[in-house]
Homo-oligomer: A and B are copies of this chain.
Amino acid sequence: MSDERRKIMRVLSGETLTPPPVWLMRQAGRYLPEYRETRAKAGSFLDLCYSPEHAVEVTLQPIRRYGFDAAILFSDILVVPDALKRNVRFTEGHGPEMDPIDEAGILALKLDGVIAHLAPVMETVRRLRAELPAETTLLGFCGAPWTVATYMIAGHGTPDQAPARLFAYRYPEAFEHLLMLLADISAEYLVAQIDAGADAVQIFDSWAGVLGEREFEAFAAKPVARIIASVKAQRPNARIIAFAKGAGYQLKTYRQKTGADAIGLDWSVPLAFAQELQKEGPVQGNLDPMRVVAGGNALQSGIDDILGHLGDGPLIFNLGHGITPQADPANVAALVERVRGWRR
C-alpha cells in the first residue's frame, strides 16, 4: 500500500534521507487559525474526533500550509477509554476527565463494541488516504496502555500520575489486567487504522517518565511490546514508532524491548545519547516546542543542532513534544524551510 515516494516510510525502513523528512506532533492544533475555526464549528472536542468531515479537514490543514511529510490522523488517545464507556469529557480549560475506575470496574470492562464505536475514526483514515498527496505518509496512533491507564484511574490528568502508581502497587493483578486489556484493544484499533489506510502508526506513552525501573519494564515496555507483536503478527509490513516521553536512560533498551521500528525522543534527550540510539535504528525528534514559540536564533540553532548530530542517520525531524497554541505559524514555516534547506 505504501508508496516509494513516502519519505517517512523509507526512513522507517532504515534509510537515511538528506534532508530528513519532517512533521510535528500536534501539527493540527490551536496555533492555526483555520483549526480554531473548524474547532468552533465542530461542537465538543470529542465531536471533532468523531466527525470524519471535520477531522479530515483539520488533519489536512497543516499539510496544505506546510507540506509536511506526514499527516497524523486527528483524534485523541482517550477515544479508547471513551469507547470503553468511561464517560470521557473534554471541558474547556479543565483538561480531559472521565469516571475513575476501580478494581471491580476493571474486571467489568468489555471489549465488545469498542472497535465499532471507533468506526468514525477509521472512516476519517479512509477519507484522508484518498485526499492526501501520494507522497504524504498517513500516520495513525493510539496511547500506550500505561498512559491511558493513568487517566482511567485518576479520572483526569495529574502532574506525576501518583494515583496510577499507587493503584499499581496496591492492586498489581487488576492493574496488569487493565494494561493487557488496553494493549489488546489498542492492537486491534491500530490494525483497523492500518486496514483503513494508515501507512504507519505511533504509540504515545506520554507519562512513561514517572515510572521506576521495574515499573517502566512492566507497565511501559511490556504492554507496548505486546501491541507491536500483535500488530506485526497480523500485518507484517506495519511500521511502528514508539514515543516514551521522559523515559531518559530507559530508552537505551526500549527499541529492543518493544520491537518498535523507530523511537521518538523528547527534547530532554541529549543528542549524544540520541546518536547511540540511532545506531540501532531510526529516531524521531526532538526540538523543544518552546523554540518554535521563541523563533529566531533559538529556533535555528536548535534545528541545526539536531540535524548536525542526527542528520547522517535515519531521522524523522519532529518536535520533542506537541506544538503549543502560542506558536507563531510563521515560525513553523521557518522550521520547515530550514530543515528542507539543510545541505541543499
Q: Residues of A with Cβ closer than 8 Å to B?
A: 159-160, 162, 165-166, 169-170, 209-216, 246-250, 267-273, 288-291, 293-294, 298, 302, 305, 320-321, 324
Contact = CB atoms under 8 A, between A and B. Distances in A.
Nearest to A171: B294
Contact of A291 (B169, B211, B294, B321): B169
A219 to B, nearest CB: 12
Contacts of A247: 248
Nearest to A160: B321
B213 A271 contact: yes
A209 B209 contact: yes
B250 A290 contact: no
A290 to B, nearest CB: 4
* A160, A166, A248: residue with the most chain B Cβ atoms closer than 10 Å: A248
Contacts of A213: 268-272
Contacts of A250: 268, 270
* A169, A246, A294, A302: residue with the most chain B Cβ atoms closer than 10 Å: A169
* A162, A166, A249, A302: residue with the most chain B Cβ atoms closer than 10 Å: A249
Given A270-B249, A270-B250, A288 B170 contact: no
Given A246-B246, A247-B248, A249-B270, 5 more contacts: A159-B159, A170-B294, A209-B246, A211-B268, A213-B271
A332 to B, nearest CB: 16
Contacts of A210: 268
A169 B209 CA distance: 24
B298 A212 contact: no
Contacts of A165: 288, 290
* A216, A269, A294, A324: residue with the most chain B Cβ atoms closer than 10 Å: A294
